[in-house]
Structure 1
Amino acid sequence: MKAVLATDLSAASEATIENETCLECLGRIGIEEMHLVTVIPSNVHAGMPGIDFEKRRRKAIKNYERVIERAGFDVETHVVRGTPHRRIRGIGETIGASLTVVGSRGKSPLENRVIGSTARNLSRTTETPLLVNRIEREADDPSVVRQHLFQRMLYATDFSENAERAFEAFSYLRHATQETTLVHVETPKDPGLSADNDPETQLAELADQLEKWGIETQIEVRQGDPADEILAVEEAVDPTTILVGSRGHSRLRRLLLGSVSEELVAQANGNVMLVPPS
């Protein structure tokens, strides 16, 4: 499997790359080849006096390349120019990446201008699964908030086709997952489920699948605003990563669930993994 690891060469993204536990987790789920990508924004002019941005970035990214090689991955580096989320997404599609990893500090717009906005834009547009690796929000020398990326998962589902696709990610995540909480949030606008498909029954069926792989599983059904309730469950069970599909029941609900996944990317305490439609 191949992964794109995006970096703006800041202290925040350095924390993702230099954390050995995070790299080990990526190796355990089957990532063998890492494509390290940094993008010079198109509004940064190559001809600015006394500054060769591309040369500086290539020199800086070499240090990260050595770290990832020492962790046992094959590595390719890409220093490109353009709009960050578009170039990152394009490289992922070109190489056939199974995962894109990007660091983000989360809520604060002042701390979140470059790679944070890139994470949000990728959450809206990505064509491959996206892992937003949460970095400490207020630290001069930040580190990752959750080192074990996939050890304790929170899987949120609306039982849509795309949510099912997100669940299929456990086929490889299970090699690094020990515990999972499965949650469904009922809303007033929910199209409803038949008596034969009540949420607890469906979650129990999913739990059975995970427990066959030796993953300890619990289920929760809640009522209310999906993003608020998912974040409340995160607060209660302290997962390392929230796993969710980035689209909902139909095109009419795309904006609704799209806004939920975007809220999770911005507000979750830990990591968020989004799985887009096929």
Structure 2
Amino acid sequence: MKAICATDLSAASEATIESETCLECLGRIGVEEIHLVTVIPSNVHAGMPGMNFEKRREQALERYRRVIENSDFNVETHVVRGTPYRRINGIAEAVGASLTVVGSRGKSPLENRVIGSTARNLARTTVVPLLVNRIEREADEPDVVREHLFRRLLYATDFSENAEQAFEAFSYLHHATREATLVHVETPKDPGIPEDDDPEARLTELATRLEDWGIETRTVVRRGDPADEILAAEAEYEPTTTLVGSRGHSRLRRLLLGSVSEDIVARANGNVMLIPPNRSA
């Protein structure tokens, strides 16, 4: 399995790359090859006085390469120019990556948003599963907020096709997962399943599949606003990562990123793994 690790060479990006537990978790789920990608924005020109951006970034990536190679991964580096999220998505497709990882600072004291423009645009357009690795915000030398990326997973589902696809990620995540909380939120505004269906029974069926892999599992049905209730479940159970599909049932939501998953990516305290629909969907 190949993974893209997108970095802007900031302290937050460095925290993701140099976290031994994060690298260990990637190895556990089958990642063998990591592509380090940094993008020089189009509006930064090579001829600017005193600036040799390509050389500086290549040197920084070489240091990161050594760290990752010491953890027994094969590593390729890419210094490219353009719009960051577009180039990252393009490289993910070109190399056949199965995962993109991007670091993101924690909640701002000034606003209830946590992701910068590149991470936000990746969440809206990613062509492969996207892991937003949450990094401490108020720290000179920030660290990851929650180690062991996939040890405790919160899986949120509305039983849509894309949510079912997100559940299939457990086929490789289970190698690093010990606990899982399966959550469905009932809401009269945007029902996800027929009225005569039983969400608790459907969650129990999914839980049985995870328990066959030795994962300790609980199921939770909540009622209210989906994003608020999923985030409340995250606060209650403190998963290391929240797993969610990027498109739900509602045809009124934006096609590439429903408002529920956007809120989760933006407001979650911990890591978020977003699974996009199949390209043919």
Q: State the one-letter code of the partner of 2:34.
A: M
Decide which moves more: 38-47 or 141-150: 38-47
Q: CA deviation at 1:43?
A: 1.4
Percent of pairs with identical residues: 79
Decide which moves more: 160-169 or 37-46: 37-46
| Superposition CA RMSD, Å | 2.1
Q: Is the 8 A contact 1:106 1:265 kept in 2?
A: no
> Secondary structure at the residue paired with 1:252?
coil
| Aligned pairs for 1:2-81 within 5 A | 2-81=2-81
Question: 1:243 corresponds to which residue?
Answer: 243
TM-score if structure 2 supplies the norm length?
A: 0.94
Q: State the one-letter code of the partner of 2:87.
A: R
Give a deviation string over 1:220-243, Cα, whole Å, max 9, x none: 111111111111000000000000
Decide which moves more: 53-62 or 184-193: 184-193
Q: Is the 8 A contact 2:101 2:131 kept in 1?
A: yes
Q: CA deviation at 1:252?
A: 3.4
Q: State the one-letter code of the partner of 1:260.
A: V
| Aligned pairs for 1:143-222 within 5 A | 143-191=143-191, 193-194=193-194, 197-222=197-222
Structure ranking higher in helix proportion: 1
Q: CA deviation at 1:191?
A: 3.2
1:256 to 1:85, Cα distance in 2 relative to 1, 3 A? closer
Question: 1:83 corresponds to which residue?
Answer: 83
> Secondary structure at the residue paired with 2:48?
coil
The 2-side partners of 1:270 and 1:257 are apart by 19
Mapped pair 1:127 → 2:138: no
> Secondary structure at the residue paired with 2:253?
helix
The 2-side partners of 1:64 and 1:163 are apart by 34
Question: 1:138 corresponds to which residue?
Answer: 138
Q: Is the 8 A contact 2:115 2:266 kept in 1?
A: no
> Secondary structure at the residue paired with 1:72?
coil
Q: Is the 8 A contact 1:156 1:230 kept in 2?
A: yes
Q: Is the 8 A contact 1:106 1:266 kept in 2?
A: no
Give a deviation string over 1:78-116, Cα, whole Å, max 9, x none: 0001111111111001111100000001433989x9972
Structure 1's unaligned 5+ residue stretches are none
Count of aligned positions: 278
Question: 1:96 corresponds to which residue?
Answer: 96
Structure 2's unaligned 5+ residue stretches are none
> Secondary structure at the residue paired with 1:8?
coil
Q: CA deviation at 1:257?
A: 5.9
TM-score if structure 1 supplies the norm length?
A: 0.95
Q: CA deviation at 1:132?
A: 0.2
1:191 to 1:263, Cα distance in 2 relative to 1, 3 A? closer
Q: Is the 8 A contact 1:123 1:261 kept in 2?
A: no
1:39 to 1:115, Cα distance in 2 relative to 1, 3 A? farther
Decide which moves more: 204-213 or 189-198: 189-198
